[in-house]
Structure 1
Amino acid sequence: MKEDDTNYTPELDYFDDWGLEEETLPTLYEHYAFTAGKGQEPLRVDKFLMNFVENATRNKVQQAAKEGNIFVNGVPVKSNYRVKANDVVKVLLPHPPHNDLLVPENIPLNIVYEDDSLLVVNKPAGMVVHPGHGNYSGTLINGLVYHFEHLPNNSSNRPGLVHRIDKDTSGLLVVAKTEEAMLHLTQQFFHKTTQRQYIALVWGNIENDEGTIRGHIGRHLKDRLQMAVFPDGSHGKEAVTHYKVLERFGYVTLIACQLETGRTHQIRVHLKHIGHTLFNDERYGGDKILKGTTFAKYKQFVENCFEVLPRQALHAKTLGFEHPVTHQFLSFDSELPQDMQACIEKWRSYKTANQ
């Protein structure tokens, strides 16, 4: 498992690589490892981990410390240990048994295409794609294993999954039904031959009608729940996003984004980097009024928009790839979900009324 200043990977394991015997760990654990950055000021390890591990509560972290499952530089520590620069912090958090992670659930799926090799699903906002810490049920995969038997596992043991989109992003995903399809589709995403277009509503009036955002994306150095752009390439991985303005509403802009790469939160963090955070993107500050006036009526209008669209304004609208068996290039399109349509219409009406 790689450990650096910007990236970490949660794993499910019995931790024999930590020198722990399998029989001492009757349940699976999720483990995380971090290396504190050079600028890390002394901070209690429980607070440090709560900042970096999504859905980790203070009680869970402190319980892990009591059980001797928090290690700093290989030594178990108490929850009041203060993390310093370059400390290597590891934690084990109890995980439900593996079988519980993949309990089939009768979750309705919006399938827009299906054949013997694959299916394309239109995922609603609010649905997590795969089980993880704090999200053990109600995911897309729980629904997939209910509706389809013998889905192939990817390298992370996630049946059928070739790529993913964020919980609060809606839109199209392709799912592999055979090993052959899994391999072929995974290679297409790796070699960047798929075509994906997202529709986004962003804060501010984007200056250029179209453009390209380039900048390595990696885990934020201080807030591990966020990603960040590193233009000098010192951290993270290369990421490229192309955008085109579709409609301007003054204080917000509707754009289309084309992905060359598929990094975590890529569109969200790239657009924030250029000063145009996604509308109502809570994690990246888009749930605040970033552009506009101080008038009470305007504030009420924006709050009404937030209520209509209670998530980041991002939808995976189109998806194109080569079929793994027929080699025909397939293209799929999806309607904007009702919440995004309603929010866009509100801004369209606001612009008309204030021209």
Structure 2
Amino acid sequence: MAFEDASARRVTLTAEQAGGRLDKTLAEALPDLSRARIQALLAQGQVSRDGTTLSDASAKAQAGDYRLLIPPPLPADPQPEAIPLRVLYEDAYLIVVDKPAGMAAHPAPGNETGTLVNALLAHCGASLSGIGGVVRPGIVHRIDKETSGILVAAKTDAAHQGLSALFAAHDIDRAYVALVRGAPQPAKGTIVTRLGRSSSDRKKMAVLKTGGREAITHYVVERTFGPAEKPLAARVSCRLETGRTHQIRVHMASKGSPCLGDPTYGSGPPAAPVREAMAQAALTRQALHAAVLGFVHPVTGETLRFESPPPPDMATLEALLSAL
């Protein structure tokens, strides 16, 4: 990821300076940049040594010429944008929306505008909860930019605190529909791993032996496509017990059945008939949709449950796969 308006910082590390952790060594050499800031730049692919991009903050610093690209600062306050929203529910405390694929949840480098936060600011005005900070007002949880489906946002601080407590206690019903390569075995199960940043690519998540955070996904293969003895693809329902970054995408890939169209965790192309169906359906993102969200209203105590059918790209793809 490169930022067009980024300013470059350069520093040369000598052999005497080398040997320690990369993030710590660079922070010592560039005292106006914090160690956390340098870690973020490494994770974004904005640090290079002698032309080679670096991403592992814990790697040993080597002697050489380093270049750090500093992206322009985000605006202090996201601006309201009149972006149409599909609102499933709204009251004085919270709002539930069906987010389209391609919309980021909140502003971030490379996605400063056109986000759900920008749309909510226009729709809700100044009523969004401020607990998430100026960049993320009202945002209690996220789904990936290219994942479609249901999100809840808080309009008051009391709702924000209550919703955050529900998510922390895993007391939320969240189900996703995934169209995957092949079919995970067994056809029903629970995946329990630890997830954290990949040591080889800090922009990716990975299953870790130690460290990271516990991640639990319950899955059921609802339908397979192609030969019964060796399915070419499958529709899988995934229920989240925890909500880690990229959790379903990493867990499905760990079972050898990554989400179709996943540019990060795809690990190899699907069979030719599936590729043809994906092209015909114009699927240009991971085939993952947040289909169900259920929770007890944190203020009124009402039990709420919302469902959203997969959008046209996934629905068309499933119909085409059914003919295999």
Which of 309, 312, 318 is residue 344 of structure 1 equivalent to?
318
Question: Is the contact made by 1:246 and 1:254 (CA closer than 8 Å) also made in structure 2?
Answer: yes
Structure-1 separation of matches of 2:212 and 2:39: 16
What secondary structure does 2:264 align onto?
helix
- Residues 45, 330 of structure 1: CA spacing in aligned structure 2 closer, same or farther, 3 A cutoff? farther
Aligned residues: 280
Residue 137 (1) aligns with residue 116 (2): no
User: How many Å apart are 1:152 and its aligned residue?
Assistant: 1.3
Question: Is the contact made by 1:205 and 1:252 (CA closer than 8 Å) also made in structure 2?
Answer: yes
What secondary structure does 1:283 align onto?
coil
Q: Which residue of 1 aligns with 2:10?
A: none
What secondary structure does 2:195 align onto?
strand
Structure-1 separation of matches of 2:106 and 2:41: 26
Q: Which residue of 2 aligns with 1:260?
A: 241
Q: Which residue of 2 aligns with 1:69?
A: none
Q: Which residue of 2 aligns with 1:48?
A: 53
User: Over residues 132-176 of structure 1, what are the superposed CA-to-partner deviations in whole Å (9 max), with x where a residue is unaligned?
Assistant: 011111111111111112211234541110000001100000010
User: How many Å apart are 1:91 and its aligned residue?
Assistant: 6.9
- Residues 46, 179 of structure 1: CA spacing in aligned structure 2 closer, same or farther, 3 A cutoff? farther
Identical columns (%)? 41
Which of 262, 265, 272 is residue 281 of structure 1 equivalent to?
262
Structure-2 separation of matches of 1:145 and 1:156: 13
Residue 244 (1) aligns with residue 220 (2): yes
Question: Is the contact made by 2:131 and 2:137 (CA closer than 8 Å) also made in structure 1?
Answer: yes
Q: Which residue of 2 aligns with 1:325?
A: 299
What secondary structure does 1:145 align onto?
helix
Q: Which residue of 1 aligns with 2:24?
A: none
- Residues 161, 52 of structure 1: CA spacing in aligned structure 2 closer, same or farther, 3 A cutoff? farther
Residue 202 (1) aligns with residue 180 (2): yes
Structure-2 separation of matches of 1:153 and 1:170: 25
User: Over residues 194-238 of structure 1, what are the superposed CA-to-partner deviations in whole Å (9 max), with x where a residue is unaligned?
Assistant: 1100000111122322100010000110111210001x3x12100
Structure-2 separation of matches of 1:264 and 1:153: 23
Residue 33 (1) aligns with residue 54 (2): no
| Gapped regions of structure 2 (runs ≥ 5) | 1-20, 22-26, 43-47, 226-230
Question: Is the contact made by 1:31 and 1:91 (CA closer than 8 Å) also made in structure 2?
Answer: no
Q: How much is the aligned-residue C-alpha RMSD, in angstroms?
A: 2.9
Matched letter for residue 194 of structure 2: H
Which of 248, 252, 256 is residue 271 of structure 1 equivalent to?
252
Q: How do residues 23-102 of structure 1 correspond to structure 2 at under 5 angstroms?
A: 31-33=37-39, 44=49, 47-49=52-54, 78-79=65-66, 92-99=70-77, 102=78
Name the TM-score, length of structure 1 as normaliser.
0.72
Residue 179 (1) aligns with residue 182 (2): no
Matched letter for residue 154 of structure 1: I
What secondary structure does 1:31 align onto?
helix
User: How many Å apart are 1:78 and its aligned residue?
Assistant: 4.0
User: How many Å apart are 1:262 and its aligned residue?
Assistant: 0.4
Name the TM-score, length of structure 2 as normaliser.
0.79
Q: Which residue of 2 aligns with 1:125?
A: 101
Structure-1 separation of matches of 2:69 and 2:52: 13
Matched letter for residue 221 of structure 1: S
Matched letter for residue 79 of structure 1: Y
Q: Which residue of 2 aligns with 1:152?
A: 129
User: Over residues 1-29 of structure 1, what are the superposed CA-to-partner deviations in whole Å (9 max), with x where a residue is unaligned?
Assistant: xxxx9xxxxxxxxx9xx8649xxxxxxxx
Structure-2 separation of matches of 1:152 and 1:258: 27
User: How many Å apart are 1:32 and its aligned residue?
Assistant: 4.0
What secondary structure does 1:326 align onto?
coil
Structure-1 separation of matches of 2:125 and 2:41: 40
Which of 90, 103, 106 is residue 79 of structure 2 equivalent to?
103
| Gapped regions of structure 1 (runs ≥ 5) | 6-14, 22-29, 37-42, 54-71, 81-89, 293-297, 351-355
Question: Is the contact made by 2:41 and 2:70 (CA closer than 8 Å) also made in structure 1?
Answer: no
Structure-2 separation of matches of 1:136 and 1:127: 11
Question: Is the contact made by 1:31 and 1:92 (CA closer than 8 Å) also made in structure 2?
Answer: no
